[in-house]
């Protein structure tokens, strides 16, 4: 009896493994088309995340101004302008007109884009309560991009509670 010789299996792809340059080019073209189709959706997500991040930064800055007022035993405020904030010592009025706290001069609320914010300043007294501007019980800080994409708010209660609500 004769011994069987080993034969290589043959199939659709033959005996060679791997992909051809044409197959690779087709896959890359499909990935590029999907990327171009998804870009507008992803750019909106970026703007939404930017606004949420800016609102969280504003809330953290407000909490820090309150903590400085409590720790140092004097009125402190946070002042907003053009998507930035800084902390200052304040007098007994709701005005934010004292010297800038060292290390807390203008800080950006977002790493890119234009952030718009509605409130000019929030003042805290030495026990952490918000100094009222004209009897308003809560102060709402609105944060958005320019042009508007996603409105986020930061609510500051009379007793200094801070809550950021995203869109």
- The structural domain count of the chain equals 1
pLDDT at 6 over 60: no
Is 118 a member of any domain? yes
Q: What is the pLDDT of residue 118?
A: 73
More confident residue, 41 or 6: 41
Is 37 a member of any domain? yes
User: Residue 104's domain is classified under what CATH number?
Assistant: 3.55.40.10
As a whole-number percent, the residues of the chain with pLDDT over 90 amount to 14
Is 6 a member of any domain? no
Is 113 a member of any domain? yes
Q: How far apart are CA 68 and CA 86, in angstroms?
A: 12
Is 5 a member of any domain? no
Q: How far apart are CA 141 and CA 138, in angstroms?
A: 10
* Residue 58, Cβ density class (10 Å: 0-12 exposed, 13-18 middle, ≥19 buried): buried
Q: Is the pTM of this model over 0.95?
A: no
Q: What angle do CA 166, 78, 126 make, to 5 degrees?
A: 115
Work out the number of other CB atoms within 10 angstroms of the CB of residue 41.
9
As a whole-number percent, the residues of the chain with pLDDT over 70 amount to 82
Per-residue pLDDT tens digits for 108-138? 877 656 677 777 888 888 998 888 765 566 7
Adjacency order of strands within the sheet including 107-108 = 107-108, 84-89, 76-81, 121-124
**Residue range(s) defining the domain that contains residue 68:** 21-165
């Amino acid at each position: 009896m004769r011994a069987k010789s080993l034969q290589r299996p043959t199939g659709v792809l033959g005996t060679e493994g791997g992909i051809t340059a044409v197959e690779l080019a087709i896959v890359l073209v499909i990935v590029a088309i999907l990327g171009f189709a998804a870009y507008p959706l992803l750019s909106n997500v970026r703007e939404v995340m930017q606004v949420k991040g800016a609102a969280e930064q504003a809330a953290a800055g407000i909490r820090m101004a309150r903590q400085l007022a409590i720790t140092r035993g004097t009125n402190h405020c946070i002042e907003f302008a053009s998507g930035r904030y800084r902390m200052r010592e304040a007098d007994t009025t709701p005005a934010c007109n004292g010297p800038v706290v060292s290390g807390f001069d203008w800080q950006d609320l977002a790493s890119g884009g234009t952030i718009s914010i509605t409130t000019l300043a929030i003042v805290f007294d030495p026990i952490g309560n918000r100094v009222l501007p004209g009897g308003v019980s809560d102060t709402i800080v609105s944060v958005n991009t320019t042009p508007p994409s996603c409105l986020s708010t930061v609510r500051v209660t009379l007793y200094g509670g801070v809550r950021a609500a995203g869109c």
